[in-house]
A and B are shown apart, each in its own frame.
Chain A
Amino acid sequence: MATKTVKLGEELVTTKEFLAEGHSFCIGCGEALAIRLAMKALGENVILAMATGCDEVTTTPLPYTSWRVPWMHTLFENTSAEISGVEAGLKILVKKGKTPERDIICVAMGGDGATSDIGLQSISGAFERGHDFIYICLDNEAYMNTGIQRSSATPYGASTTTAPAGKFSMGQVTRKKNMAAIAAAHNIPYVATACPSYHLDLMKKVRKGAEIKGPAYVHIFSPCPTGWRYKSDLAITIGQLAVQTGIFPLYEIEYGRYRLNADPPELKPIEEYLKLQGRYRHLTGEQIQEIQQMVNEDYAKLKEKVAAFPL
């Protein structure tokens, strides 16, 4: 007899898989896990618009699809515009009596490239117009699908194919664009960061973002064994270290007010996180110190915001 739900902690998680087995995500892909978890929180009454990227090509090679929910993909940078049309279309059809009213969650999904680079304009527009949808960013910190090229989400010091570590380069010399802050600057009802290693927290946040009226943004840390160069079994460990070292803090922002979901009394040294990943292998001790400083500063700034604008 197939079980309908599995009890994890206090939660009952559905055994339904909205993303079918047999997709071609890499072995041990953190993004695949992130999407699988998000889908369990969203359920089947969704319409999902997805950007070109890892998640799109691994799940829909014509004539096959891994999706068991209504799904659409058009281009790379327009997912938010596309979902705006879905959302407005559904609303007006109900208003005009052309279709019965029902609860359908409008979901947009895209990688860090689709979100904070090429798609920044369309997400900003959709946020400003206030469409009722949830945008989920699967952040694997580079343009992974096209071959590990740098994005604005690539962290300082990481080596990618277009900002590689070399004789005269330490890899990424810019700092990770704070997409959650950009989303919050649009004064939308809900912004959150999440990590698949904290599965219940992730699912709760996705569900919250889906249920809230208006735009919601959930930024999910998605470890990539291929691009970050680590053994395929480490996605959960790396995700835990990202949170425990403070380089990827878990927090929520509701209308400009902050809640820090995990605040370890002492942050683990960033070296523990960096040393597991080949993309940081080239870093000198000094550079690691520099990164430690940046992490400490950013975390302190976040805590200041949490203290100044608590939820």
Chain B
Amino acid sequence: MSRRTALEASHAVAEAVRMADVDVIAAYPITPQTHIPERLAEMVADGELTAAYIPVESEHSALSTCLGSVAVGARTFTATAGQGLELMHEVVYVASSMRYPVVMAVCNRALSAPLSVWGDHSDAMAVRDTSWIQVFCQNGQEAFDLTLWAFRVGEDSKVLFPVMVHLDGFTLSHVTEPVILPEQSEVDRFLPIFQYPFALNPDKPMTHGAFGPPEIYSETKLAQEVAFRNSKEVILRGWKEFGDIFGRYYHPVEEYKTGNAETLLLTMGAYTETAKIVIDERRDKGEAIGLISLRLWRPFPFEEFRRTVKGAKLLIAFDRCVSFGMGGPVFSEIRSALYDEEPRPKVVSIIGGLGGRDMSEEDFDYVIDRGKEIAKKGPDRMLETVGIR
């Protein structure tokens, strides 16, 4: 019998890791991720989870240790945030190009300098190109569900890519929410045992990580991109299977009241739930407005995204990150994704919610109104922002 309980989102992630019967956890504490490794260490200490908890001495070593454990076929998990994700940056690329399916929760945190332990998406945006399957969570249930799903997809023999599960630092990681926890038997039905096809073993010696001379490097990258894009099939199948067993279906692009919407607001992550309240209020007043959110960030859901925005005249992209000298990163990508579409909505960018700055309903009201203004009269300043003095 599944049960509904109150869990801090970090603990929901830990619970998913426990139910997935992870073998190895190697993590380095960093605000606001700390509750995840702490809870996992507690579970191991109390025998709730049989796993090797390796208290590594840095994030670079955390992900490196994960590479070693996957290489011998162990189901592996880690978590980090902000500076930690930056410190392991080179290892992030290696994990995916060596096709090691680690699952990593990232409690999205602003990047230094100045030092900020609070949330925004700059850490996530800095790893856009790294060939990890990436999803964004909006609430505690999704934090649990998507972590579980991540193992199913990443470890699939047709995929073998690592997966990042993004949760907004503090605004999601530290809030207690109602979470429906499934039965262990349901989880076992959904998630097969990890069988890594290239496990290091003296009986069949293999070489992992040969270097790539110019005669072959390009071919390795083409092969990687093809495999990465093709992982979409298993991503979708994984969500279908998830829904069939647990009753909750996820899609690459979440659509909220988008029917006949002339204006669409695009948000990512936990702030989406606040934005939805504003959409409700405006819809009640008769405004043809809706919201979309990219649940699947990588591989980019081109098909679903283009289909979703087809009828809209205006798309307002809200970014929790500045790509310096360029603008909102999500904005840039979605505009590029729509360039060849006929017809396509006007796309405008507003940036806010940096370094833990909260977004109220009024703030989202402003974003929508200002977005419409920019669409009509054009931008009149270098950077359109909300809530920045």
Physical contact A–B (CB less than 8 Å): yes
A residues lining the B interface (CB < 8 Å): 44-47, 49, 56-57, 60-65, 67-75, 77-78, 80-93, 95-96, 98-99, 104, 121-122, 124-125, 128-129
> Nearest CB to that of B73 among chain A residues?
A93
Instruction: Specify which of A56, A70, A83, A122 is in contact with B202 (CB 8 Å cutoff).
Output: A70
The answer to whether B210 and A64 have CB atoms under 8 Å apart is yes
Q: Chain B residues with Cβ under 8 A from A60's Cβ?
A: 207, 209-211
Report A-chain residues with C-beta under 8 Å of the C-beta of B72. Answer: 47, 85-86, 89-90, 93
User: Is B64 within 8 A of A78, CB to CB?
Assistant: yes
Contact of A82 among B58, B65, B74, B205 (CB under 8 A): B65
- A129 touching B210, Cβ below 8 Å: no
Task: Tell me if A82 and B210 are in contact (CB < 8 A).
Answer: no
Residue contact B73 to A88, C-beta cutoff 8 Å: no
Q: How far is the CB of B267 from chain A (nearest CB, A)?
A: 36
Q: Are B207 and A89 in contact (CB under 8 A)?
A: no
Using A74-B91, A89-B23 as known contacts, say yes or no to A122 and B61 having CB atoms under 8 A apart.
Answer: yes
B219 → A minimal CB distance (Å): 9
Q: Which of B58, B62, B98, B216 contacts A62 (CB 8 A)?
A: B216
Q: Give min CB distance, A56 to chain B, whole Å.
A: 7
Instruction: Give the docked Cα–Cα distance between A70 and B196 (Å).
Output: 15
Given A78-B91, A92-B51, A122-B61, are A71 and B68 also a contact pair (CB < 8 Å)? no
A85 contacts B200, C-beta separation under 8 Å: no
> Measuring CB to CB, which residues of chain B are less than 8 angstroms from any residue of chain A?
23-24, 26, 50-52, 54-58, 60-62, 64-74, 76, 90-91, 94, 98, 193, 200-202, 205-213, 216, 220
**A47 vs B98: C-alpha distance in the bound complex, in angstroms?**
17
How far is the CB of A41 from the nearest CB of chain B, in Å?
16
Chain B's closest residue to A52 (CB) is: B211
- Roughly how many angstroms separate A115 CA and B211 CA in the complex, as a whole number? 20
Report the minimal beta-carbon distance from A163 to chain B, rounded to whole angstroms: 26
Q: A85-B26, A125-B58, A125-B61 are in contact. List 15 more A-B contacts (CB 8 A).
A: A47-B72, A47-B200, A71-B200, A72-B71, A72-B209, A73-B209, A74-B209, A82-B65, A82-B68, A84-B54, A89-B52, A89-B73, A92-B50, A121-B57, A125-B56
Task: Take A62-B212, A75-B94 as given contacts and tell me if A70 and B201 are in contact as well, using a CB distance cutoff of 8 Å.
Answer: yes
Determine if B67 and A74 form an interchain contact, defined as CB atoms under 8 angstroms apart: yes
Q: A67-B207, A74-B91, A93-B73 are in contact. Are A88 and B213 (CB under 8 A)?
A: no
Contacts of B220 in A (CB 8 A): 62
What is the CA–CA distance of A104 and B26 in the complex, to the nearest angstrom? Answer: 21
Q: Which single residue of chain B is at the shortest CB-CB distance from A122? A: B61
Please give, as numbers and ranges, the residues of chain A lying within 8 Å of B57 by CB-CB distance. 121-122, 124-125, 128
In the complex, what distance in Å separates the CA atom of A68 from the CA atom of B203?
Answer: 10
Whether the pair B60, A69 counts as a contact (CB closer than 8 A) is: no
Beta-carbon contact of B202 and A81 below 8 Å: no
Q: Residues of A contacting B201 with CB < 8 Å?
A: 70
Q: B240 CB to closest chain A CB, in angstroms?
A: 28
User: Which of A71, A83, A87, A99 contacts B205 (CB under 8 A)?
Assistant: A71
Residues of B near A98 (CB, < 8 A) are: 23, 73, 193
- What residue in chain B is nearest A57 (Cβ atoms)? B211
Cβ distance A80 to chain B, nearest Cβ, rounded Å: 8
Q: Could you say which of A44, A73, A83 contacts B208, with CB atoms under 8 Å apart?
A: A73
Closest partner residue, chain A, to B58 (CB atom):
A121
A104 to B220, CA, bound (A): 31
Within 8 Å CB of B74, what residues of A?
85, 88-89, 92-93
- Once the chains bind, are B64 and A74 in contact (CB under 8 Å)? yes
Q: Are B23 and A86 in contact (CB under 8 A)?
A: no
B213 with A84: CB separation less than 8 A:
no
Given contacts A69-B205, A70-B200, A75-B91, contact A88 B64 (CB under 8 A): no
Residues of chain A within 8 A (CB-CB) of B193 are 98
Nearest-neighbor residue (CB-CB) of B100 within chain A: A74
Query: Whole-angstrom distance from the CB of B26 to the nearest CB of chain A?
Result: 6
Give the residues in chain B near A62, CB-CB below 8 Å.
210-213, 216, 220
Q: How far is the CA of A57 from the CA of B210 in the complex (A)?
A: 8
Give complex CA distance A10, B64 in Å: 41
7 smallest beta-carbon distances between A and B, as pairs: A85-B68, A125-B57, A89-B69, A78-B64, A81-B61, A73-B209, A81-B64
Q: How far is the CA of A92 from the CA of B52 in the complex (A)?
A: 6
27 A-B pairs (CB sep. < 8 Å): A47-B72, A60-B211, A62-B211, A63-B210, A64-B210, A70-B201, A72-B207, A73-B211, A75-B64, A78-B61, A80-B61, A81-B56, A81-B64, A84-B65, A85-B26, A85-B71, A87-B68, A89-B52, A89-B68, A91-B52, A92-B50, A93-B72, A121-B57, A121-B58, A121-B61, A122-B58, A129-B56
Rounded to whole Å, the gap between the CB of A117 and the closest CB of chain B is 15
- Which residues does chain B contribute within 8 Å of A84, judged by CB atoms? 26, 54, 56, 61, 65, 68
